Structure 1
Amino acid sequence: MAPVAAVVGALSRPAPSASRPSTSSRRAQQIRCVATGPARSAAAHQAAAPAPSAPAPSVAATRRVPRSIEEVDNGAILGFAAELSEDHPGFYDAAYKQRRVDICNLARGHRIGEPIPRIEYLPEEVTTWGLVLGQLEALFPQHACKEFLHSLSLFDFRQDEVPQLEDLSRVLQRHTGFRIRPVAGLLHPRDFLNGLAFRTFHSTQYMRHASKPNYTPEPDVVHELIGHVPMLADPAFADLVHAIGVASLGADEQQLKHLVKLYWYTVEFGVVLEGGQPKAFGAGILSSYGELQHMAAGQAELLPLDVFSPLPRISYKDGYQPRYFVLQSFEEGAAQLKAYCRSMVHNIPDDVRAAVQLPLP
């Protein structure tokens, strides 16, 4: 299973230089397919949901469920911290690797309630940030969803300054109650999703290597801040993400795998229809110049999302996404996701339900 936070494998690739063929007829056909996708009854949905065939034992009886964000482990790093693979752009750059070690150590030392350490970004890191932001800002008006465009204005991103997590966290808390917690690398998927249940988003602070500003094999500060943070300031989207997090508290391993895929195909690579046209709301699209162009060019398959049905294998090292799952609207998508998530919360202990503002059964 691909870890939840490995949401950016091949996350930001340069757009292919070859001219793109016209895809208007293909796009129209695809969107009609999305708009008229087969409807299924709630009973059929429940039958298809990845759930145990027999009543599940109490979650509390099989593993400890966190009662607060303080009990969510942000130290179970699976990779992409300071230990880089040989194919990483920064593998042979000793100064870059030491820089990541230093930044990761700040995240490891952070405690809930303390201000998030401020990073003094190097000139080449600021240049990388500004280059990517400038490219994306030219594409957002036409290809990003309206919720993203509205929320983006709350943060006043500038090309000459990398934002600080503490400042952005305060904005999120005012608008949706979400906050940011620094993390040293790729978290275990259960820990990452558990954090969302307590309206906490775990974010890296290190920058991708300057030699490839349009590419990162792992979540970095560009992906986190441009892709995720603005959408988390939208109340409807924040509630949707929170619902996935709450469901993870009661999920068994099979259900968790399905939640990871739901997160991938919505929060990371989600598309929503606006006036019949697909618009990006997933962070893996919104933070990638190449992926955003790929989505807009109609070169990927568009499919209606059925949250109760099995989803394809996650592809995060095979280039651009071959398919996107499309929501008719955020309202419809949130309703579907919450219906599925409710199937996993019946055995969450009452004190945990209270902590995540989930009504008692």
Structure 2
Amino acid sequence: MFEEGQLYSPVTQHDDGTVEVHLSDNHPGRNDPAYVARRSEIAGAAMAWTRGEPIPHIDYTDAEHEIWRTVSHELTPKHEKYAHSEYLAAKHALRLPTEHVPQLHEVSELLEPITGWTYVAAPGLVPLRDFYGDLGARTFNSTQYLRHGSQPLYTPEPDIIHEVIGHGNQLASPRFARITEAAGQASLRLETEEAMKFVADVFWFSMEFGIMREHGEVKAYGAGILSSYGEMDEYAHMEHRDLDLVDMGTLNYDITAYQPVLFCADSLDQLEGVVGEFFETVDDDLAARLRAEAVERGLVSAPDA
């Protein structure tokens, strides 16, 4: 089971204005009424927020701060061992707090002077085009809740630890930040949903679950790996393929399981030259041609097959 699978719990708002988060049956907090109520409270704050207003301030509890502290301390030696030097340099430049959960405005205040990125609040899943459109404006949508305290190193969905420790540190690298921004700007050129999905899948296998060779070792730079205590021990044992946009944009994957296939860049220059240039130039026609090539190569079935 991929413990940090990218599954957001659905959020609904009832006619009386109350907000409810629906946790899956296997969620550690599913049978904890206090946790469910807390999640609903935090989601409600994001849903009531209007852009242009101050980002909702969450009064985190001592227990929530302890979860952040525990994960921060446990991930640090893992990062030193497994993370690519570009990510480590960005992490050291950003200097996220390790003893308390940062407010999103605090993350923005640390990040914006470095790469111009800011954070905004989201109750959970953000529609794909909205999420990528914001990336194109150097804006990252982040949840504000934390995982259940019974298993601080486990989460079945992205929480603020994934969004900030994983992506925030990554976005403090000017080079990673430019690739992410280019992916967002690409979405503004795309009209078809097929092309949008192709871009999102390339993003998945790069900025979320990307790995890269460095000094004879394979290091991780993807936010999904580097925010996951368990994934960092597993990625080296998976199948590693060379960067291949056709394969990356069409490969089926299970977001609830460890990724059995990862794509490895030879260098940061290569990542920029292949993935970054793709995001900078892709349009509907290019995505369609790459999809057609996948059919020719037998990677996917023809649409009418």
2:228 matched to 1:288?
Answer: yes
SS at the partner of 1:245?
A: helix
CA offset at residue 138 of structure 1?
1.3
**Secondary structure at 2:264 match in 1:** strand
**Partner Cα separation in structure 2 for residue 338 and residue 153 of structure 1:** 24
Give the paired residue count: 273
Is 1:300 aligned to residue 293 of structure 2? no
| 1:153 alignment partner, SS class | helix
* 2:253 pairs with 1:339: no
Change (3 A) 1:159 1:337: closer
Is contact 1:226-1:287 (8 Å) kept? yes
2:61 is equivalent to residue 122 of structure 1: yes
Q: Which residue of 1 aligns with 2:214?
A: 274
1:328 aligns to 2:251 (yes or no): no
Aligned mates of 2:10, 2:3 — CA distance in 1: 13
Equivalent position of 2:3 in the other structure: 10
Instruction: Please give the per-residue CA displacement for 1:311-335, whole angstroms capped at 9, x wherever unaligned.
Output: 32122112x2212111112222122
Matched, 1:311 2:304: no
Q: Establish whether residue 197 from structure 1 lines up as the match of residue 150 from structure 2.
A: no
Structure-2 residue corresponding to 1:172? 111
User: How far is 1:150 from its partner?
Assistant: 1.1
Partner of 1:161: 100
Corresponding residue for 1:260?
200
Q: Distance in 2 between matches of 1:85 and 1:268?
A: 23
TM-superposed deviation, 1:205: 0.3
The gaps in structure 2 that reach 5 residues or longer are: 12-20, 286-305
- Secondary structure of 1:212 counterpart: coil
1:76-117 per-residue CA deviation (whole Å, 9 max, x = no partner) reads: x97444111222111111111111111111112223233222
Contact 1:11 1:217 in 2 (8 A): yes
1:95 and 2:34 matched: yes
Is the Cα–Cα contact under 8 Å of residues 132 and 213 in structure 1 kept in the other structure? yes
What TM-score does the superposition give when structure 2 sets the normalisation length?
Answer: 0.83
**Alignment deviations for residues 3-34 of structure 1 (CA, whole Å, 9 cap, x no partner):** xxxxx96218xxxxxxxxxxxxxxxxxxxxxx
Q: TM-score, normalised by structure 1?
A: 0.71
- Match of 1:215, SS? coil
Structure 1 residues 193-202 or 325-334, which shifts more? 325-334
Where 1:180 maps in the other structure, the secondary structure is strand
Identity, % of aligned pairs?
Answer: 37
Q: Secondary structure at the match of 1:289?
A: coil
RMSD: 2.2
Matches within 5 A, 1:194-273: 194-251=133-190, 252-273=192-213
Of stretches 79-88 and 323-332 in structure 1, the one that deviates more from structure 2 is: 79-88
Q: How does 1:174-189 map to 2 (within 5 A)?
A: 174-189=113-128
- Residue type of the partner of 1:282? G
Q: Distance in 2 between matches of 1:84 and 1:307?
A: 35
Per the TM alignment, residue 158 of structure 1 is displaced from its structure 2 partner at its CA by 4.0
Deviation at 1:227, TM superposition (A): 0.5
* Bigger Rg, which one: 1
Summarize deviations over 1:336-359 as a string: whole Å, max 9, x none. Answer: 12432313189xxxxxxxxxxxxx
User: 1:237 offset after TM fit, Å?
Assistant: 0.6
1:206-253 residue CA offsets vs partner (Å, 9 max, x unmatched)? 000111211111110111111110110111111100111111112211
Letter aligned with residue 259 of structure 1: V
Deviates more, 1:179-188 or 1:157-166: 157-166
Task: Please state whether the residue corresponding to 2:237 is helix, strand or coil.
Answer: coil
Distance in 2 separating the partners of 1:83 and 1:194:
27
Conserved 8 A contact 2:69-2:99? yes
